[in-house]
Amino acid sequence: MVIFVSKKQQSSEKDFLFKFLVIGNAGTGKSCLLHQFIEKKFKDDSNHTIGVEFGSKIINVGGKYVKLQIWDTAGQERFRSVTRSYYRGAAGALLVYDITSRETYNALTNWLTDARMLASQNIVIILCGNKKDLDADREVTFLEASRFAQENELMFLETSALTGENVEEAFVQCARKILNKIESGELDPERMGSGIQYGDAALRQLRSPRRAQAQSAQECGC
């Protein structure tokens, strides 16, 4: 497995740790979105040797440092074999379709069902209509996707892993919503043991800030 960590981020301190997933049909640009978020570059097609499966980055959300551990399907979605263990303990997800492919949009309901069943009812999901730069080939309008998002209680953005538009925003908005839910008490990390497993650092941070940092540094090898 290739571990892909932005060098600048490795030594930073963090307040919270969230596991994130990137899900959606093959070819929608999930790996490119992860690469763009971590490296701020478009992943060149010719560069097949970098099979990013995992990325990690610390972001600042309203003054709090949140470490996102982001899992990419690593091609499993091609065989419809995205496993239960992939979903387990995820706090947030980017659910990706390609705005130039109705087929990928039509598959969203299945992805959503799996995510809510296999991750947690409480997983915070942001819908990403990727390849926004290919507007001329669009098969899915912004309006219909935003209606779908509303009906299914998802946040929604159109993104471009090519230009970078809205890529950071997608991750940050999702993280912000999780933080807001924790802070408002809507999500109680103390009671998440059986379902969603927020990053242990986040859990402990709520109880004991000093212990949290010491322990998360020990446990997280990335």
- The size of the interface with Mg ion (CB under 5 A), counted in residues, is 2
- Restricting to residues 130-149, name those near ligand GDP by CB under 6 A: 130-131, 133-134
> Which one of Mg ion, ligand GDP, none is in contact with 28 (Cβ closer than 5 to 8 A by kind)?
ligand GDP
27 CB contacts (<8 Å, ≥6 apart)? 98, 101, 104
Label the pairing between strands 52-61 and 64-72: antiparallel
> Which one of Mg ion, ligand GDP, none is in contact with 29 (Cβ closer than 5 to 8 A by kind)?
ligand GDP
Segment contacting ligand GDP by CB under 6 A, of 56-64, 129-137, 169-177, 214-222: 129-137
CB of 159 to ligand GDP, least distance (A): 7
CB of 73 to ligand GDP, least distance (A): 7
Residue of 9, 31, 166, 197 interacting with ligand GDP (CB under 6 A): 31
* Best CA proximity match to 30, nearest among 64, 67, 77: 77
Whose CB is nearest to Mg ion? 31
Segment contacting ligand GDP by CB under 6 A, of 23-31, 87-95, 200-208, 210-218: 23-31
